[in-house]
Chains A and B, each alone.
Chain A
Amino acid sequence: MSEVPIERHALDNGLRIILSRDPRSPAVAVNLWYDVGSKHEKSGKTGFAHLFEHMMFQGSANVEKGQHFGLVQAAGGTLNATTWLDRTTYFETLPSHELELALWLESDRMASLLPAMTQEKLDNQRDVVKNERRYSVDNQPYGDWDERMQALVYPETHPYHHPTIGSMEDLSAASLDDVREFFSTYYAPNNAVLTIAGDFEADAALTMIQRHFGPIPANPSLPAPPEVAIPARIGEAVRVTVPDQVPLPRIYLAHRAPPFGTDGFDALDVAADILGSGRASRLYAVLVRERRLAQDISAFLFPIVGGASLFAMWVTARPGIELPTLEAALLAELDRLAADGATDADLERVRNLQASRTAASLERIAERADRLGQYACLFDEPERINSEVGRYAAVDAGRVAQAMRASITDDNRVTLTYVPAEAAS
């Protein structure tokens, strides 16, 4: 596959810059990874990093409320932002000739968000975020599985113990003072990576970046990263049953896993695809197609770096299937992969799937910019975008078996089972 070109620069204030040219379409993607996520939140302030992300669209010194979206869209661009455990990401894709608009908007809110903040805006976005939580978690069947998992896999003192969306009580408690403190602490050029991908001229882009971001002062006292060290295994088997408004029972498994970016993570990533990716995957083949115990299956890792990642799976029971039968069949497949390792056919299949998926993702300049920002922010190594396929392909049968045996054990497993509420009562 063709290499993604990478140019690295930095401003005196510490802003890291990644440039990646691709002239195929007259568009540019601008992406900012801030090294702050929900893992940085204090106790009693869960959900704040994400609520803060919403406030970043409420205007800044030179931009009215609504105009961040308005200006980018009127320029023919798309935009959004996401917050997760490790980070907060802001991004725009625009026609090439509007590159400077995106840089100006991003720099204006990095430099001068606070003058635009009001209690009314905070109250409005707090209501929006509470509705986001209702929409994605509280009003959905199985909707709280990931927050329950995180709470069981990570101890109460660990920064991944609580979910990024936060609790209703903590969202209610968020104040304008919190906005000021969070902004002053984390929103600084030396805590961010700015990536541009697409059709642009590097010299002109660097001049614009210097013009808009150059005057923003660094934060000389960025706080030390949160303490994330954690034993590699949970240390016991944890089982929880949740009665819910669900028609079909579903079993979720979660295991602590090596952090994203390590060889161990890569090996489990391959294992997850062997188990759960595609119609030839082992869980689909055995549980869905052959034995017809499951309606659907899934297996994947959280790409997170704080001490331990999380390897999650779920299987939804078909009507009439006894849960112990389904669970035993699932565990038997995990044991088989741990004991016998991957076959050549498994490895050929998942390597080729991963290569074509990666190529399809990287067709989009926004995705390319996001991955460059991710690797630069998390590992200071944007070049990893070009070794993704190679790292994955380097995983052999022995590494898969070894990684499975290390992480997929009874004493490192949370088993969370949703059952129909009426059946449980």
Chain B
Amino acid sequence: MIARPPAGAPRPYRFPDLVRQELPNGLGVWLVPLADRELVSVHLLTDAGAAAEEETQAGVAGLTAQLLVTGTRTLDAAAFAEATERLGIEVGSESSWDSTRAAFVALGDHLDAGLDLLAEMVTAPRLDADQFDRLKAERLNDILQARAEPGRLADERFLGEVFADGVPYGRLSAGRPETIEALTVESVRDFHASRYAPGVADLVVAGGFEPDEALAAIERHLGAWTGSGPGHRTIEPRQRGERRVVVVDRPGSVQSELRVGHLGIDRHDERYFAAMVMAALLGGVFGSRLNKRLREELGYTYGARCAFDPRRAVGPFTATAAVQTEVTADAVRELLGQLEGIRDAPPAEDELREVRDFLVGVFPLRFESTAGIAAAIEPLAVYGLPDDWWHAYRSRLEAVTTGNVQAVARELIRPDDALILVVGDASKVAEELRAADLGPVEVVPGS
């Protein structure tokens, strides 16, 4: 066999430097000027994610974020859409657990006009009852639609089964139909009034712009915004029960959607880098153990993977695959076998090197777009990670050893505690899952 050609000399890449400021009203400003770009990406982050909700109002953060794009004091929903799109700007606004992001990308000429519209939309939105009623109905319909899709149904049910009762993370950050039904436009107005404030907000601008001009524009459009914001509640995740199997019955399914996992880590965990490398080796790249075994050797699935979802508090670790109905029990057994295997022995040096080199090597590719760079600043702003996070990132990945991988796997991968959730045709898979002796099996309706 002919060996692969040798690599040339590596060309250096450095994550761009950022300029960090704070306006007198407390707004954090993060500028990443890139002289060679014609686009500019703007992300405005507020501490108004689902973690800031009362549980009886679950969904209010998401609806508030969505309602922002339906107009300002001076522009109604139609006029606001026209005003932004006329500039080639599509404004997005959505919430996650730990923040809400209102964002756009524009050709550089439109930075000032875009900032003006974004600032109006976030600081002085219209929040009218008519548009609220529409978005609330659309949100409820979307949940209906999501539950008809096996993958989205599995995602939602997994959270509900893995977290103990009363833990907010046991649902989608977008809320539950029961609590969304109860929301009124007043709930949204109150949430906006108390949670959207410069003291708990950050603005990220990345791309082709003059820093002095941009800063002046930011002060002009956002300098008069006031408020300190109450911050977020503390979530204390706890897992529900022992290892068990839950079959969510979806008659007629030709595949079973598998979600296997348990609680994972939070965003500040000291084991973050070892955990990221370990998860990539187990199920984060094409040649990972899960994908190699379940897809490339057994042909059971189009793809198998796993990941942590670290948040301000401990989020889930989940292994995922959609497998042919007929092989469901064996696929679960194989998947659990891989979770056992990563604990039992350290990976080979070569296997680790391949994954680590991948994570280090793709680093520059993540930041080709201005939107990618702006997104990279978000965890610094939201979680208070150190400013040199990305400059130190590759060397911290490179420091992960085979011993670290096994040690972190023994601590963080716990097949004996795993919830095994299967969305599929119970009449075809439940008996086999019982016979496989994977834990107590419960069958619940899918709708």
Residues of A within 8 A of B (CB): 1-2, 24-27, 61-62, 65-66, 69-71, 73-78, 93-101, 103-105, 108, 123-128, 130-132, 134-136, 138-141, 199, 208, 245-248, 278-280, 285, 288-289, 292, 295, 316, 318-319, 345, 348-349, 352-357, 359-360, 363-365
Q: Does B445 contact A (CB under 8 A)?
A: no
Question: A248's contact among B7, B141, B298, by CB below 8 Å, is which?
Answer: B141
A319: B residues at CB distance < 8 A: 141, 144
B360 — nearest CB in chain A belongs to which residue? A76
A353 to B367, CA, bound (A): 23
If A278-B90, A289-B78 touch, whether A76 touches B11 (CB-CB below 8 Å) is no
Complex contact A285–B364 (CB within 8 A): no
List of 4 A-B pairs having minimum Cβ-Cβ separation, nearest first: A76-B361, A127-B299, A352-B88, A26-B11
**B118-159 toward A: CB 8 Å interface, digit per residue (1/0)?**
000000000000000010011001101101111000000000
Complex contact B36–A24 (CB within 8 A): yes
Interface centre among B88, B137, B147, B286 (most CB of A within 10 A): B88
Binds A, one of B289-297, B380-388, B436-444: B289-297
Interface set, chain B 351-372, CB cutoff 8 A to A? 353-355, 357-358, 360-365, 367-371
Quote the shortest CB–CB distance from A331 to chain B (angstroms): 22
Complex A-B: 25 CB contacts under 8 Å: A26-B12, A27-B364, A62-B2, A70-B287, A73-B355, A74-B354, A75-B7, A100-B8, A104-B4, A108-B2, A139-B150, A141-B145, A248-B141, A285-B78, A289-B78, A292-B134, A319-B144, A345-B86, A353-B85, A353-B90, A356-B39, A356-B88, A359-B38, A360-B105, A363-B37
Q: Does B163 contact A (CB under 8 A)?
A: no
Complex contact A352–B87 (CB within 8 A): yes
A278 to B83, CA, bound (A): 12
Quote the shortest CB–CB distance from B12 to chain A (angstroms): 7
Interface set, chain B 52-89, CB cutoff 8 A to A? 69, 77-78, 81-82, 85-89
Q: Does B263 contact A (CB under 8 A)?
A: no
A94: B residues at CB distance < 8 A: 361
Complex contact B10–A97 (CB within 8 A): yes
Complex contact A70–B149 (CB within 8 A): no
Complex contact A76–B39 (CB within 8 A): no
Question: A135's contact among B38, B255, B297, by CB below 8 Å, is which?
Answer: B255
Interface centre among B86, B107, B137, B361 (most CB of A within 10 A): B361
A104 to B286, CA, bound (A): 20
Q: Does B196 contact A (CB under 8 A)?
A: no
B435: A residues at CB distance < 8 A: none
Complex contact A355–B107 (CB within 8 A): yes
Interface centre among A95, A96, A131, A319 (most CB of B within 10 A): A131
Interface size on B, residues (CB 8 A): 77
A355 to B105, CA, bound (A): 12
Complex contact A356–B89 (CB within 8 A): yes
Q: Does B106 contact A (CB under 8 A)?
A: yes
A135: B residues at CB distance < 8 A: 255, 301-302, 322
Q: Does B407 contact A (CB under 8 A)?
A: no
Complex contact A345–B39 (CB within 8 A): no
A24: B residues at CB distance < 8 A: 36
A292: B residues at CB distance < 8 A: 134, 137
B361: A residues at CB distance < 8 A: 74-77, 94-95
Complex contact B144–A248 (CB within 8 A): yes
**B1-45 toward A: CB 8 Å interface, digit per residue (1/0)?**
111111111111100000000000000000000001111000000
Question: B299's contact among A75, A131, A288, A356, by CB below 8 Å, is which?
Answer: A131
If A97-B7, A279-B69 touch, whether A318 touches B137 (CB-CB below 8 Å) is yes
Interface set, chain B 368-411, CB cutoff 8 A to A? 368-371
Complex contact A75–B357 (CB within 8 A): yes
If A134-B254, A360-B371 touch, whether A123 touches B38 (CB-CB below 8 Å) is no
A354: B residues at CB distance < 8 A: 88
Q: Does B285 contact A (CB under 8 A)?
A: yes
Complex contact A134–B255 (CB within 8 A): yes
Quote the shortest CB–CB distance from A386 to chain B (angstroms): 14
A62-B3, A353-B85 known; 4 new pairs, CB 8 Å cut-off, are A77-B362, A131-B323, A139-B150, A295-B141
Q: Does B97 contact A (CB under 8 A)?
A: no
Complex contact B39–A360 (CB within 8 A): yes
If A76-B361, A128-B299 touch, whether A363 touches B254 (CB-CB below 8 Å) is no
If A78-B362, A353-B88, A356-B89 touch, whether A62 touches B7 (CB-CB below 8 Å) is no
Complex contact B354–A70 (CB within 8 A): yes
Complex contact A100–B5 (CB within 8 A): yes
A95 to B8, CA, bound (A): 10
B106 — nearest CB in chain A belongs to which residue? A356
A141 to B285, CA, bound (A): 28
A247: B residues at CB distance < 8 A: 144-145, 147-148
Q: Does B324 contact A (CB under 8 A)?
A: yes
Complex contact B78–A199 (CB within 8 A): no
Complex contact A124–B299 (CB within 8 A): yes
Complex contact B302–A128 (CB within 8 A): yes
A140: B residues at CB distance < 8 A: 149-150
B78: A residues at CB distance < 8 A: 280, 285, 289
A112 — nearest CB in chain B belongs to which residue? B2
Q: Does B252 contact A (CB under 8 A)?
A: yes
Q: Does B228 contact A (CB under 8 A)?
A: no
Question: A246's contact among B13, B137, B148, B364, by CB below 8 Å, is which?
Answer: B148
B280 — nearest CB in chain A belongs to which residue? A73
If A25-B368, A77-B362, A248-B145 touch, whether A199 touches B286 (CB-CB below 8 Å) is no
Complex contact B148–A364 (CB within 8 A): no
B85: A residues at CB distance < 8 A: 278-280, 349, 352-353
Question: B354's contact among A73, A126, A246, A278, by CB below 8 Å, is which?
Answer: A73
Interface set, chain B 145-184, CB cutoff 8 A to A? 145, 147-150
Q: Does B209 contact A (CB under 8 A)?
A: no
If A25-B13, A26-B11, A97-B11 touch, whether A285 touches B255 (CB-CB below 8 Å) is no
Complex contact A245–B11 (CB within 8 A): no
Interface set, chain B 99-116, CB cutoff 8 A to A? 105-107
B149: A residues at CB distance < 8 A: 140-141
A199: B residues at CB distance < 8 A: 11
Quote the shortest CB–CB distance from A385 to chain B (angstroms): 16
If A101-B5, A141-B148, A363-B369 touch, whether A76 touches B299 (CB-CB below 8 Å) is no
